[in-house]
Amino acid sequence: MWYYFEIFALISVIMWSVALVFTVWQKSKTIKLISEVLSLGGFISLLVFIILLWINLDRPPMRTLGETRLWYSFFLFLIGYVVYKRWNYPWFLSYSLFLALVFIVLNWLKPEAHSTTLMPALQSIWFVPHVIVYMIAYAFLGVSSLIGFKALVEHSKGRPVKLLLDFGDNIVYLGFGFLTLGLVFGALWAKEAWGHYWTWDPKETWAFISWAVYMIYMHMRYHRPQKETFHIRMLAFAFIILLIAWFGINYLPAAQTSVHVYS
Amino acid sequence: MTKNSKRKIWHHPWGYPEGSLIAFGLLLTGFLLDFSTGQAFPKPPFPWNVSLFMLLISVLIVAHLNKKSSPFIRWLSSVPAAISALVLFTFISVLMGLVPQKNMGVPSPSNLLDSWAYFFSYIYLLVVLGLSSLKRIWPLEKRNAAYLLNHLGLWLALAAAGLGAGDIQQYNMFLTEGKTTWYGYQGKNETIELPFALRLNDFTLENYPAKIALVDPKTKAILRSAGKPALTDLPLDKLKTIKGFEILATDYLDFAVIDSLSNFIPLIDTGAVQAARLTVNGAVRGWVSPGNFRFPMRIVPISDTLAIAMLKPEAKRYASDVTVFLPDQQQYPELIEVNKPIEVEGWKIYQSDYDERFGRWSRHSILEIVRDPWLPLVYVGFYMMIIGAILLIFQGKKTK
Ligand code: HEM
């Protein structure tokens, strides 16, 4: 059964890879069109895959790291595509396609034994909104980090980066808004499931740290917009902290006692 | 704004260098106090914490009203101060995120929540965030809505969570089927008599079909395959392959007992156990069962070094069916389930645990009861942050 799902994931990977190449070398109108069709095709295939997985597991596929990665790719693409359409940035679509691909391929290299069991603490109305909101936040902030890297390159070539950073601000504000929602939803859920809204459990601690890092970034940007070199670096690398909060945590010594480490 | 290089440090207007030094000074003082006193900073209970809360608000308001005459107060509500406070608080959080924390009275690197350093960074954050919020309160303008909701909301949540910590009460209740209990326990020696009583009518637990795994027949340790434990959901109706073995469960009994011929037969009887009959690579191989307090474990041997075993079933759902008794002779039934706490007389009551040895046949239920009178205030802060975040998403950045 799992085997049939994987075909959908494979279709996504192939379509997106080709689309990625086409978005980078967008020579003619036809190629542009083909790349859009292929990216949407890959997206639909991923969507079908997620729906089938949900039905097959008979629970939201949001428990394990691999499952959250699927959603991550899903939202990365969605956000990339909407931003691309809205502001007509072809490179933006390339970047989000690239990131989305990385996370699908990660799932290929590290396949998950998708178990259907879901422990009682996770069976809550908060489960879906909490995870979805976080994945949207991660997708925005992941893209903002790519903008940071693009700015890093432009900056090293002596080109102006103000517009890129301003664009990055829009993405960061969106991502940070969702990050805040994820954090607060998590706290409200924790109160219902565990009796307290905040226990400085390692996962919570790192979630707070990544929230704070973006908070620091936003305030620096607001206060000293002209310090571009600093902002570019911070924007590019802040995402690393997010990655620690998301899955680096599973490898930290402090997390061995965490109630949050599933799978 | 004047360039920092032209301004001597500690000459107003202050900027980032002063912020760094103040944050560093607070950290150092905190650690010195931790080191010299060896005692947790006090978390005052009611009424002291309420007084402190009022005092804090008054100090912040008075400071705010006098900021025209004091460049220091003005600085405290500036972004450089905010950054210094955030970096300090985040730094301590990073320490907590790296060193495993266990909360036990004396402050130490593995108990930072009780340290003075944490306390100072918290107070500093509250003061700076408080003054920053006040700075945009008056005149009340629509364009400041997102700013105020985010900053005041966070301030309220932080202040109420911190000051309320001294009033949180948390106990366990141990219930036995048929008995009525009105005591809570904390650790070994602390008990509390509660303003209500609970009678456990029935403890219920539903299991998932137990997983199966490849094990070492002697030690019963789960073998590994490709770096992961070699286990899988019970392969009912569909073949599963682990380490090259195609396994299928042809029969599955959720409630089974062993008859005189050592076969598993379906029967709902106290101590009934889960069992499944397996075929391996097409050939019938017999029953597996995790066993329990009544029946022994049953495995299917494949070779001298390999066997298939059924793991202890995982709980799908468990709940306590109780009757609540109030002081005024009132009584009513309730169901307490994981993720669905109930509230009685200001206490939130959570399903926490049961007697693991007996699993679904447990006649005991362990509840956790929590009283947190400051919770509504914290939640107001949370709701403000939710609205603030939504505004942030829809409004985006406003340029200065
Ligand atoms: C929920 C977290 C936070 C969010 C979403 C947030 C957001 C913002 C935003 C959007 C601004 C720009 C103001 C504007 O656009 O009108 C700002 C300014 C500011 N924030 Fe925050 N902030 C947060 C937490 C904090 C904290 C923790 C502090 C202090 C420790 C702080 C202190 C400040 C200060 C001082 C300003 C400058 C205000 C001014 O100069 O008028 N903020 N914040």
Interface contact A178, partner B, CB < 8 A: yes
Opening angle at CA A146, ends A141 and A150, nearest 5: 145
Q: Is A208 on the interface with B (CB under 8 A)?
A: yes
Residue B162: per-residue pLDDT: 96
B241 touches chain A (CB under 8 A): no
- Tokens in use for A75? 């939202």
Question: Do B339 and A192 count as a contact with CB atoms less than 8 A apart?
Answer: yes
B238–A1: do the CB atoms touch at under 8 Å?
yes
Residues of chain A contacting residue B135, judged by C-beta atoms under 8 Å apart: none
Place of tokens 């009132």: B330
Q: Is the pLDDT of residue A261 over 70?
A: no
Question: Does residue A173 sit at the B interface (CB-CB below 8 Å)?
Answer: yes
Indicate the CATH number for domain B169-206+316-371: 2.60.98.10
Using a CB–CB cutoff of 8 Å, tell me whether B340 touches chain A: yes
Span from the CA of A219 to the centroid of ligand 1 (angstroms): 6
Residue B101 contacts A where some CB pair is shorter than 8 Å:
yes
Q: In this structure, are strands B212-215 and B307-310 parallel, antiparallel, or unpaired?
A: antiparallel
Q: Which atom of ligand 1 is nearest to the CA of A177?
A: 5
Query: The tokens of B344 are what?
Result: 């009685």
Closest residue on chain A to B91 (Cα): A209
> Which residue has better confidence, B399 or A191?
A191
Which candidate in B94, B121, B206 is best for mutational testing of the A interface (most A CBs within 10 A)? B94
* CA B217 – ligand 1 centroid, Å: 62
Contact A117/B208 with Cβ under 8 angstroms?
yes
The answer, for A158 touching chain B at a CB cutoff of 8 Å, is no
User: Residues of chain A with pLDDT > 90: what percent?
Assistant: 63
Q: Would you state the pLDDT for residue B181?
A: 96
Distance CA B280, CA B306 (A): 13
pLDDT single digits (tens) A64-91:
888 888 999 999 999 999 988 888 888 8
Structure tokens at B319: 């709940």
How confident is the model over A48-67, as a mean pLDDT?
89
Q: Which residues 79-118 of A have a C-beta within 8 angstroms of B?
A: 113, 115-118
Task: Provide the edge-to-edge strand list for the sheet that holds B231-232.
Answer: B231-232, B212-215, B307-310, B300-301
Q: How much is the pTM?
A: 0.92
Please indicate whether, in this complex, the C-beta atoms of B90 and A173 are within 8 angstroms of each other. Answer: no
What angle is formed at CA B83 by the lines to CA B89 and CA B155, rounded to 5 degrees?
65
Partner B contacted by A140 (CB < 8 A): no
Residues flanking ligand 1, CB < 6 Å: A 180, 215, 218-219, 222; B 77-79, 82, 85-86, 125, 128-129, 132, 135, 147, 150-151, 154, 385, 392, 398
Q: Which among A121, A180, A192 has CB closest to B389?
A: A180
Give the Cα separation of B396 and B393 in Å (integer).
6
How far is the centre of ligand 1, averaged over its atoms, from the C-alpha of B77 (Å)?
10
Domain definitions of chain B by residue range: 4-135, 169-206+316-371, 209-313
Q: Is the pLDDT of residue A153 over 80?
A: yes
Nearest CB partner across the interface for B97, out of A173, A205, A222? A205
pLDDT in tens, B147-172: 999 999 999 999 999 999 999 999 99
With CB atoms and an 8 Å threshold, state whether B86 touches A169: no
The full length of chain B comes to 400
Closest residue CA from atom 36 of ligand 1: B79
pLDDT, averaged across chain A? 89
Of ligand 1's listed atoms, the one at least distance from the Cα of B143 is 16
Residue of the nearest CA to atom 26 in ligand 1? Answer: B129
* Structure token digits, residue B334: 């309730």
Task: Please report the pLDDT score of residue B145 as a whole number.
Answer: 95
Handedness of CA B281, B282, B287, B291 (dihedral sign): positive
Inspect the interface and report whether the beta carbons of A117 and B314 lie closer than 8 Å: yes
Ligand 1 binding pocket mutation candidate from B121, B147, B392 (most atoms within 8 A of CB)? B147
* Residues A212-217, mean pLDDT to the nearest whole number: 98
Residue B110 has φ and ψ, to the nearest 5°, of -95, 10
Q: Which of A184, A192, A257 sits opposite B382 (nearest CB)?
A: A184
Q: How far is CA A5 from the centre of its chain?
A: 22
Q: A146 or B7, which is more confident?
A: A146
| Phi, psi of A198, deg, nearest 5 | -150, 120
Is the pLDDT score of A251 beyond 80?
Answer: no
| B344 or A5, which is more confident | B344
Q: Which of B97, B368, B392 sits opposite A254 (nearest CB)?
A: B97
Contacts 24+ apart (CB under 8 A), B55-60: B56/B126, B56/B130, B56/B159, B57/B130, B60/B127, B60/B130, B60/B131, B60/B134
Residue ranges for chain B with pLDDT beneath 70: 1-5, 399-400
Cβ atoms < 10 Å from Cβ of B373: 13
- Which two tokens mark B281? 């690579």
Question: Which residue lies with its CA nearest to atom 37 of ligand 1?
Answer: B79
What local confidence, expressed as pLDDT, does residue A56 receive? Answer: 86
**Which of A191, A201, A204, A243 to mutate against chain B (most B CBs within 10 Å)?**
A191
**Could you tell me the residue ranges of all domains in chain A?**
119-263
Write the pLDDT tens digit of every residue in A85-111: 888 888 889 989 999 998 888 877 776
Instruction: Inform me whether the C-beta atom of residue B89 falls under 8 Å from chain A C-beta atoms.
Output: yes
